[in-house]
Chains A and B, each alone.
Chain A
């Protein structure tokens, strides 16, 4: 556990090294933003919540104990913040499937896809599938959604997801199993339309 370089940074921050905290912020801001964004699917809210994760990290410095991988710990904070947001709606989060204002993912998709494939139809198809995927994931219950996102996009092993969601490895397996079945059902229906 102690050889986790992120834990070393957090411990350095605990000793008062502010630069170590800034380094952790730079390393984890993008993966955390994407995790939160895929969960809540609102770009503005995702940025607010991600910043809140880092504020929580900053405030936890004094009480921090390296009893898990740093990434496990920080994603656990992110998961809690996401779930709390679902309950409290502090940022007026609304589950909306259309009109992603301020969402630059289309720009990213467009620029990267345009370089590789000049075929406009392919791009539109990709964007449509991407939007369908969003719908399918947004339709999942919170716990299934978190577990699936951690597994599919972050490639986190079941055991570690269990630590983050505070449930057993077996329970995670069955949660993800149900999530995948649900996603498949929604996507199959959407693609038939």
Chain B
């Protein structure tokens, strides 16, 4: 007569037996028990049926718009995800930029900019009278206007008197 305890021990091994995980010796012991125990044999049969029915669950295919939806999500990540790839890109850029050749080139560019800025500033200073002349020349337009021509009061203004002097200078 088979005791319940013996069955309990063998039942623990049934799955390992079914999956072929037992040593030859252990497997043989289980088989000997199965030959004389209908309860454990039935248990093994049920287990095999259950595991076989797991295979009935067929694999599914991704839906038709799976890729499209994913690429859309990925684009959103690319836009608001600076901390990983974008920062890695910036770091790479930084690494390529900070080379001796780049430093030399940058210094040269800075020097050129400083020179150009000082020339330009100096140019503005020497050009002051010409600048005024420019404004004064435009004043001619106003003189052509009837209102200004008729306005004696305006002619008395220093600026406009000065305008004649300037005009003579440019023409002369």
Chain A residues with a Cβ under 8 A of chain B:
16, 25, 29-30, 33-34, 37-38, 43, 47, 50-51, 54-55, 58-63, 102-105, 108-109, 112, 126, 129-130, 132-134, 136-137, 152-153, 177, 180-181, 183-184, 187-188, 191
B120 at the interface (CB under 8 A from A): no
B58–A133 CB distance below 8 A: no
Report the minimum CB–CB distance from A114 to chain B (whole Å).
13
Q: Report the count of interface residues on B (CB-CB < 8 A).
A: 31
Q: B47–A130 contact, CB under 8 A? A: no
Nearest B-chain residue to A100, judged by Cβ: B60
For the complex formed, measure the closest distance between the CB of B6 and the CB atoms of chain A, giving whole angstroms: 18
The answer to whether B122 has its CB under 8 Å from any CB of chain A is no
Q: Is B26 an interface residue (CB 8 A)?
A: no
Contact A184 B46 (CB under 8 A): yes
Name which residue of chain A comes closest to B61, CB basis.
A104
- A126 with B60: in contact, given A55-B77, A59-B77, A184-B46 (CB under 8 Å)? no
B interface residues (Cβ-Cβ under 8 A, vs A): 12, 15-16, 46-47, 49-51, 53-54, 56-63, 66-67, 69-70, 73-74, 77, 81, 84-85, 87-89
Given contacts A58-B77, A61-B85, A187-B53, contact A109 B58 (CB under 8 A): yes
Once the chains bind, are B77 and A180 in contact (CB under 8 Å)? Answer: no
Tell me if A33 and B58 are in contact (CB < 8 A): no
Assess whether B46 is in contact with A34, with CB atoms less than 8 Å apart. Answer: no
B46–A134 CB distance below 8 A: no
A59 touches B84 (CB 8 A): yes
Task: Say yes or no: A30 contacts B61, CB within 8 Å.
Answer: yes
With a cutoff of 8 Å between Cβ atoms, the chain B residues found around residue A34 in the complex are 59-60
Q: For A126, what are the chain B residues with a Cβ–Cβ distance below 8 Å?
A: 56
Q: Are A152 and B54 in contact (CB under 8 A)?
A: yes
Contact A188–B88 (Cβ < 8 Å): no
**B52 nearest CB neighbor, chain A only:** A129
Question: Contact: A130 with B63, CB < 8 Å?
Answer: no
Contacts A55-B77, A183-B50; A133 near B84 (Cβ below 8 A): no
Contact residues in B for A103 (Cβ distance below 8 Å): 60
- Measured CA separation A7–B53 after assembly (Å): 34
Q: Given the complex of chains A and B, what is the CA–CA distance between A133 and B77 in angstroms?
A: 37
Query: Contacts A29-B66, A152-B51, A188-B50: A112 and B58 contacting too (C-beta < 8 A)?
Result: yes
Q: Is the CB of B77 within 8 A of A184?
A: no
24 chain-A/chain-B pairs, Cβ below 8 angstroms: A25-B70, A29-B66, A30-B59, A34-B59, A37-B60, A47-B69, A51-B73, A60-B84, A61-B85, A62-B84, A62-B88, A63-B84, A102-B63, A105-B58, A105-B59, A130-B53, A130-B56, A133-B53, A177-B16, A180-B15, A180-B50, A181-B15, A187-B46, A188-B46
In whole angstroms, what is the CA distance A183 to B47 when docked?
9
The CA-CA distance from A61 to B88 in the complex, in Å, is: 10
Does B63 contact A51, Cβ atoms closer than 8 Å? Answer: no
Q: State how many angstroms separate the Cβ of B20 from the closest Cβ of chain A.
A: 13
Whole-angstrom distance between the alpha carbons of A133 and B53 in the complex? 7
With A59-B84, A180-B50 already in contact, 15 other A-B pairs whose C-beta atoms are closer than 8 Å: A30-B59, A55-B77, A62-B85, A62-B88, A104-B61, A112-B58, A129-B53, A129-B56, A130-B53, A177-B12, A177-B16, A180-B47, A181-B15, A184-B50, A184-B51
